[in-house]
Each structure stands twice: as structure tokens, then as C-alpha cells.
Amino acid sequence: MTPLKNKIIAYVKQRNPDQNEFLQAVEEVVTSVSRVLDRHPEYDDLKILERMIEPERVISFRVCWQDDKGEVQINRGYRVQMNSAIGPYKGGLRFHPSVNVSILKFLAFEQIFKNALTSLPMGGGKGGADFDPKGKSDAEIMRFCYAFMQELYRHIGDFTDVPAGDIGVGSREIGYLFGMYKKLKNEFTGIITGKGEHWGGSVIRPEATGYGLIYFACHMLEANGESLAGKKCLVSGAGNVAQFALEKIIEMGGIPISVSDSSGYLVDKDGIDTEKLDFIKKIKNKKRGRIEEYVDQYPDAEYHETDYNSNPLWNIKADCAFPCATQNEIKEKDAQNLVANGIQLLAEGANMPCTSEAIGVLQESKVLYAPGKCANAGGVAVSGLEMTQNRMGVYWNRDDVDEKLKHIMKNIHEVCLKAAEDYGVPGNYLEGANIFAFLKVAEAMKAQGMV
């Protein structure tokens, strides 16, 4: 490591002890951006990167709500407002027992770069609560969302901070959160994205992350004289991102052969077609069931329970991999298995699903690798388009939004490659994404002074 990189990483570790996810995200960016700082010492003089790493604001609050038995429950709510240099804070809300400050800071830090790549005026933020929606009734989830928004509403606004959904926060939760905000403020404004398309939302928002992921992967393949047609694809997860990634893979002529959830994974070597995907959506979206039910309908498929010591899903022979579940699901051994089985491309649908060691294995093996900050930016891009429609008071149709999404993903692909080329790492999407986004945000911070 260069002395400058060593200095910054030591500084961050000293200020953020035990925040492992956040430190992992920061170290990845510092590694890339040190190339920029070596060429542009003025950014180091102004401590732009150190300021970017420090959140502008971290809000923590108590959320008290009543369960169906009449008992009072207490959760912790958070909003990390990371950087607003190029626009209002933008990033999702996550309801999951694992939520803590480290995870939210990592997600908010990643969001700065992802949002900058979209070319839309959005800063970086993230929030949520250590609340688990699983096993809760609709009434309990509604009461929790109301209690959560009764605190959060003080800190957001359509030109200040615009949250969205994330893990555990889908259309149901967005509706309850927006309803309480509207009640508290007595106004109908676009303060949260992912709304229903009949009450302020945008078409294609549910599909956008999964669709954008596959659009980006197709550009990667095209740049190397390939296409997705006929390629076997591993997909992890079975939620929103995974479902629409599967849908777009099928449309593009690829052959998805896997999905997973927290209980296990299944492999259908005959391929998951449109009919089978509809069945997966029925299991997960309507029944809120487990993916193992798939084999009852399609007995030729194989289901395996989760093994927390290893992930055999990533030891299945395929051409492309799309991790769409959660952070750090692909470890060094998993990456080695993927490489040994001839994987050509890995694009991240989830946020930071590969460990640093896994990324090293993929890049050393010349696998086409795209980090989440560029590959899964389609979701926040369409959220940005929803914000624009709300401010203009218009609704765009499906074709309009899809064309804009395609254009944004193509542009992200191009700027990543150009930045990588300009800084001596041609074809490296990770370096290119970090460098382009850093330069954009750094210039805005430099122009605005010491704020």
C-alpha cells in the first residue's frame, strides 16, 4: 500500500473500531482513489476523501410500538445522511435484525458512489431499524412503520433526504410509511420512493434493480464480443432483485438455473423458464413461503438447506453469476470454485456480496467483475426518475422509463471503462466506478468549500 493509502486507512480504523462492514467498503474505495490522489494532491490537501468517509449526520432513535398481544416492543431506528454534495440524501430503509451503524454506514458510503454514477442529482444515505418483519402481522408492521415515521419525518424532505425501500421494506411498508408522513405533515410530496404507481410512484421501479443488473452485464459481454444468449446463469436470492434479474435473463436468452433464500438454495439444471419464475413469484410474493416448495411442483430440481460453513451454490458449473442476496455471501473459497468451474462474468445485484478476498480471486483470474455500485444502480436510478416525476407532477409510461433506465446503465458502463482507462487500469469496472464517482463528488465538495 502507498503511504497515503496507509495513512487514510489507519485514520478510518482508529475512528471506527469494530465497524467491519464499513471498513471493508472504505478500504476498497481508498485503494482505487489513491490513484487519483497521487495525480491530484489538491484533493488530499483539502482532505476530501476523509470528509467523504465521515457521515454528515448519523441519527439514532427509539421506536416504540405495540404488538398484537398488546405488549410494548422497542427497536432502534437509524438514518445515516452520508453526503449531500451533488443532491439530497438518497438511499433505502432496511428492516432486519442485523441492522446496525456499521452496516448502514457501509451502505450509505456505497450509495454516494452509486448515485453519482447514475448522473442524477442524488447524494448518499441509508437507514432502517433492527425490526424483523418476518412472522409479524400486517397490523403489527403498520404500527411499527407508523412509529418509525413519527421520528424519521423530522429529518427527511423531498429536497433534503428521500428514502426508499431495501431488505424488509417493500411496497406494503412504503405505503404505511408514506401514509404516516402525509398525516403528520399534511402534504403530498415525493419524500419516499418505491410508492405505488397509482399514488406517486414510477412504473418499472420494482423491476429496476434486476433489469438494470442484466442490462449492465449485457454491455460487459458485448464489450468482449459475447452475449448472454445461451449462457447458464447462477442467481442467489429470491426477492425483488433476484426475481426481475431472472425475468430479464430469460428475456435476453440466458438460462438461469438457481435461486436461494435464507433457508437454502435450489438448482434446476433444465433452466428456470417464465412458467417456473411465475411459480417462484407466487411462493415468495403471495404466500411469503420458502423456496423449497419449488421442488414439490418441479421434482427434477434439487433443493439443499443452507450450510453456513460453505455455500455450494457457487460450486455449480455456469457461465455467469449474479449474487442478489446480501453482503459477503461470496467468500474466497466460493470465488475459487466459480473460477475453477469456468465462470466468465460476475455482476453484483446485492450490495457488497463479495468479500475483498473473493474480489481479488476474480480479478486475478480475469473474470469480468462488476461491483454493485455500478451493476445494481438501476434501482436508485429509477428512484431518481420517480423523484423527477413527483417534482414535475407527471407520470411517464413504461417504455419511457425503460428507455431512460437502459440509457443510464449504458452510460454507467461507458464512464466506468473510460475512468479505468484514464487511470491505467483498463477494463477494471471496480476501479473505474470508484474513480469516476469520486471525481464527481470531490469536485462538488471542493466547489462548496469546508462544509
Q: CA-CA distances (angstroms) from residue 194 to 29, 201, 209, 373, 407?
A: 28, 6, 12, 19, 20
Q: What angle do CA 26, 77, 187 make, to 5 degrees?
A: 110
Is 126 annotated as catalytic?
yes
What values do phi and psi take at 282, rounded to 5?
Answer: -65, -45
Q: Are strands 345-347 and 320-322 parallel, antiparallel or unpaired?
A: parallel
- Classify residue 309 as exposed, middle or buried by CB count within 10 Å of its CB (0-12, 13-18, 19+): exposed
Catalytic entry in 5, 90, 114, 126? 126
451 CB neighbour count, 10 Å cutoff: 8
Closest CA to 96 of 149, 144, 161, 59: 144
| 124 Cβ contact partners less than 8 Å away, ≥ 6 residues apart | 82, 83, 89, 90, 91, 108, 109, 110, 111, 112, 113, 114, 115
CA distance 144 to 292: 30
Going edge to edge, which strands form the sheet with 368-370?
Answer: 255-256, 232-235, 320-322, 345-347, 368-370
Q: CA-CA distances (angstroms) from residue 86 to 112, 165, 211, 325?
A: 9, 21, 25, 29
CA distance 148 to 125: 17
* DSSP annotation of 169: B
CA distance 249 to 347: 13
Closest CA to 93 of 173, 21, 199: 173
Closest CA to 446 of 31, 90, 52: 52
Report the first-to-last Cα separation within the chain, whole angstroms: 30
CA distance 146 to 152: 10
CA distance 112 to 57: 14
- Classify residue 109 as exposed, middle or buried by CB count within 10 Å of its CB (0-12, 13-18, 19+): buried
CA distance 347 to 433: 13
49 CB neighbour count, 10 Å cutoff: 25
Catalytic positions, please? 126
